[in-house]
């Protein structure tokens, strides 16, 4: 059998530098895939020998997108090391910042990073504005900005782009590709929302900045709590935050969710064929308190799509390997270069091919992220999310297994955005209730000089793209080592000594390319995971190795 290989490097519309090499059979079906993180990062080195109280501000710089997640993660790991319990209000404020980031991330991912894998801009130019208003009503009773004149304006904007020969954000697409199946009217609806989502992106950043001080690098989280006490006590600030979330919810309910329904119905055949499905292992560490025994996300582990048997998450089952990653046995960077023809060295079992390390749960590769959260929380009967999932599945004639696909991954993100808005409203009323009863603490007093000089801590958090863990080792009151496993580290993992593929690689197997010169189908699968490569690549020094296999 003759195979051919295609290489996409770099993959764009993601954060960071990702390369994919896929092997196709004579029918252009993907038989094997290797994905590689191509950029070395070394933030952990900068953290060494620093004051542990500065860990958050430095770790926030791991990524320009997931700033808030790493900021909070590092501070929480230090709090764990010092056994500091933060006040309730501090936790709510951290959660309000985190939840706003979830919906910002999901909306920006779908419209600005992923949408053009589904939408043909040139086709939208042929849409009829009147028919478009009718089409939008199929997926929502009150569609977002659904007027004849609005669509005319969008069409005018698009044709100005095209006539000026400057497609701007829409340049370099595979326009006219066979895999684009939406009608001109459907394309126009989605493109109209692409433009509206730019405003959404700006506004939701303001919501995070209300409690964070600024964005993208918030300043307000400190070891022991938060500094945003004046914002919390100012009714105008709370009101501003609520107003932005209400507007965001309006866009999610009337544009984002209906758009996902549109895609789920249009791409029904792809969904039923299971396109983009990985190996069915899912991990969620749970979190975000609602009351003493309820969380927004349930923790759990699913193996091979067995939704009826969910294991409890056990942090002792996490390991990290470097057999196929560019590190030596001491975990020092060890780059082995590419083959002479520029391809990755992947052929032999022991060839290294990525800067991303290989985290495993009980020896297995895992998929983490919105899909894992939805599947695990739903299967564990989580009341905060169940009805939202049921409604979506009913409206689109999908099953739980159908969600484990390229399109389904996006559906999970939209469903999650919807129930996160509801959760935010609950959090805010809890915060107001606390203030009403004169509970205004936002910081737990501690004396740094009497904290343990030699200690270690860790935290496991759900963040927009999935499971994030931070580990810190402290010696003589200074950071001795620091280690991170980010969501994309799990999903974009290279192989291990056992040769098993990670979620990205597995999801590509069986995908048929209609034109190998224009590998749109490959991009679609990879984009559905919302890759963040800046976050994914981490080193730990030889002393840090034990910490990477942290045991409680």
Which spans of this chain sit near Ni ion (rule: CB under 5 A)?
63, 65-66, 532, 535
Cα 193-194-200 angle, rounded to 5 deg: 80
Q: Coil, helix or strand for 505?
A: helix
Q: What is the DSSP letter of 225?
A: E
Question: Nearest distance from residue 66's CB to Ni ion, in Å?
Answer: 3
Question: Nearest distance from residue 262's CB to Ni ion, in Å?
Answer: 28
363 membership: H or E segment, kind and range: none
Question: Nearest distance from residue 464's CB to Ni ion, in Å?
Answer: 9
Question: Nearest distance from residue 445's CB to Ni ion, in Å?
Answer: 33
Q: Considering beta carbons, is residue 112 or 512 the nearer one to Ni ion?
A: 112
Q: Considering beta carbons, is residue 310 or 532 the nearer one to Ni ion?
A: 532
Question: Nearest distance from residue 310's CB to Ni ion, in Å?
Answer: 28
Q: Considering beta carbons, is residue 65 or 467 the nearer one to Ni ion?
A: 65
119 membership: H or E segment, kind and range: none
What CA–CA distance (Å, rounded) separates 349 from 499?
7
Question: Nearest distance from residue 245's CB to Ni ion, in Å?
Answer: 23
Q: Considering beta carbons, is residue 344 or 535 the nearer one to Ni ion?
A: 535
End-to-end CA distance of the chain: 50
Q: Considering beta carbons, is residue 467 or 513 the nearer one to Ni ion?
A: 467
What CA–CA distance (Å, rounded) separates 377 from 67?
26
Instruction: Give me 450's structure tokens.
Output: 């009497």
Q: Considering beta carbons, is residue 63 or 451 the nearer one to Ni ion?
A: 63
Only one residue has tokens 């009913």, namely 394
Q: Considering beta carbons, is residue 65 or 374 the nearer one to Ni ion?
A: 65
What CA–CA distance (Å, rounded) separates 364 from 496?
10
Question: Nearest distance from residue 41's CB to Ni ion, in Å?
Answer: 11
Q: Considering beta carbons, is residue 271 or 283 the nearer one to Ni ion?
A: 283
What is each CA distance from 140 to 106, 137, 255, 377, in whole angstroms? 20, 5, 8, 26
What CA–CA distance (Å, rounded) separates 112 from 110?
6
Radius of gyration of the chain from its Cα atoms, rounded to whole angstroms:
23
Q: Considering beta carbons, is residue 63 or 74 the nearer one to Ni ion?
A: 63
Q: Considering beta carbons, is residue 18 or 302 the nearer one to Ni ion?
A: 18
Instruction: Give me 76's structure tokens.
Output: 């929480």
Q: Considering beta carbons, is residue 65 or 540 the nearer one to Ni ion?
A: 65
Question: Nearest distance from residue 532's CB to Ni ion, in Å?
Answer: 3
DSSP 287-298: EEEEETTEEEEE
What CA–CA distance (Å, rounded) separates 450 from 448?
5
Question: Nearest distance from residue 59's CB to Ni ion, in Å?
Answer: 12
Q: Considering beta carbons, is residue 385 or 537 the nearer one to Ni ion?
A: 537
What CA–CA distance (Å, rounded) separates 265 from 273?
14
Question: Nearest distance from residue 356's CB to Ni ion, in Å?
Answer: 13
Q: Which segments of 147-292 are extended strands (E)?
A: 221-222, 225-226, 282-291
Residue 129: Cβ-neighbour burial (10 angstroms; 0-12, 13-18, 19+): middle
Q: How many CB atoms lie within 10 A of CB 264?
A: 26
Question: Nearest distance from residue 65's CB to Ni ion, in Å?
Answer: 5
Instruction: Give me 218's structure tokens.
Output: 């918030």
Contact 34, 346 (CB under 8 A): yes
Question: Nearest distance from residue 409's CB to Ni ion, in Å?
Answer: 17
Question: Nearest distance from residue 539's CB to Ni ion, in Å?
Answer: 16
Residue 551: Cβ-neighbour burial (10 angstroms; 0-12, 13-18, 19+): exposed
Q: Considering beta carbons, is residue 354 or 379 the nearer one to Ni ion?
A: 354
Q: What is the DSSP letter of 132?
A: H
Q: Considering beta carbons, is residue 22 or 66 the nearer one to Ni ion?
A: 66
What is each CA distance from 249 to 239, 256, 373, 401, in whole angstroms? 15, 10, 20, 27
Contact 103, 417 (CB under 8 A): yes
Instruction: Give me 349's structure tokens.
Output: 């079992």
Question: Nearest distance from residue 492's CB to Ni ion, in Å?
Answer: 12
Q: What is the DSSP letter of 312?
A: P
What is each CA distance from 347 to 338, 355, 495, 509, in whole angstroms? 11, 17, 12, 17
Q: How many CB atoms lie within 10 A of CB 160?
A: 10
Q: What is the DSSP letter of 509?
A: T
């Amino acid at each position: 059998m003759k195979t051919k290989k295609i290489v996409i490097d770099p993959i764009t519309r993601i954060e960071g530098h990702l390369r994919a090499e896929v092997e196709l059979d004579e029918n252009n079906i993907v038989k094997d895939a290797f994905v590689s993180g191509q950029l070395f990062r070394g933030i952990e080195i900068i953290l060494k020998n620093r004051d542990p109280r500065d860990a958050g501000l430095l770790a926030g710089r791991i990524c320009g997108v997931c700033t808030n997640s790493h900021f909070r993660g590092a501070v929480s790991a230090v709090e764990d090391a010092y056994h500091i319990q933060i006040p309730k209000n501090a936790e709510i404020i951290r959660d309000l910042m985190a939840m706003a980031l979830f919906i910002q991330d999901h909306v920006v991912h779908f419209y600005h990073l992923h949408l053009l894998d589904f939408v043909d801009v040139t086709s939208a130019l042929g849409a009829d504005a009147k028919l478009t208003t009718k089409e939008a009503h199929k997926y929502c009773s009150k569609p977002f900005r659904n007027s004849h004149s609005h669509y005319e304006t969008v069409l005018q904007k698009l044709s100005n782009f095209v006539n000026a020969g400057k497609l701007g954000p829409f340049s370099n697409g595979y326009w006219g590709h066979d895999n684009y199946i939406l009608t001109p009217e459907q394309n126009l609806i989605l493109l109209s929302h692409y433009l509206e989502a730019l405003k959404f992106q700006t506004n939701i950043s303001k919501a995070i900045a209300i409690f964070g001080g600024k964005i993208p690098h918030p300043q307000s989280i400190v070891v022991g709590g938060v500094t945003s006490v004046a914002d919390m006590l100012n009714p105008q600030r709370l009101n501003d935050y609520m107003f932005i979330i209400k507007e965001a919810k309006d866009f999610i309910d009337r544009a984002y969710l209906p758009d996902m329904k549109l895609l789920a119905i249009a791409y029904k055949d792809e969904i039923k064929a299971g396109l983009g499905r990985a190996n069915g292992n899912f991990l969620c560490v749970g979190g975000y308190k609602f009351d003493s025994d309820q969380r927004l996300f349930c923790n759990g582990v699913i193996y091979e799509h067995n939704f009826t048997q969910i294991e409890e998450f056990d942090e002792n089952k996490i390991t990290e390997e470097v057999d196929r990653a560019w590190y030596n046995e001491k975990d020092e960077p060890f780059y082995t270069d590419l083959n002479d023809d520029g391809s990755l060295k992947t052929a032999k079992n022991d060839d290294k091919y990525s800067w991303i390390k290989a985290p495993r749960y009980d020896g297995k590769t895992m998929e983490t992220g919105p899909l894992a959260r939805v599947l695990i929380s739903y299967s564990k009967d989580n009341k905060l999310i169940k009805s939202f999932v049921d409604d979506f599945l009913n409206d689109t004639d999908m099953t739980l297994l159908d969600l484990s696909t390229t399109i389904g991954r996006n559906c999970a993100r939209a469903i999650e955005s919807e129930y996160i808005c509801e959760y935010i409203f609950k959090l805010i009323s809890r915060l107001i209730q606390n203030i009403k009863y004169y509970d205004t603490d936002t910081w737990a007093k501690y004396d740094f000089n009497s904290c343990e000089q030699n200690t270690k801590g860790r935290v496991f958090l759900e963040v927009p793209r999935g499971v994030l863990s931070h580990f810190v080792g402290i010696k003589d009151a200074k950071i001795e080592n620091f280690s991170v496993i980010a969501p994309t580290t799990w999903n974009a993992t290279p192989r291990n000594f056992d040769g098993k593929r990670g979620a990205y690689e597995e999801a590509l197997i069986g995908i048929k390319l209609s034109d190998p010169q224009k590998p749109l189908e490959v991009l679609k699968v990879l984009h559905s995971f919302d890759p963040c490569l800046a976050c994914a690549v981490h080193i730990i020094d030889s002393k840090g190795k034990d910490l990477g296999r942290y045991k409680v």
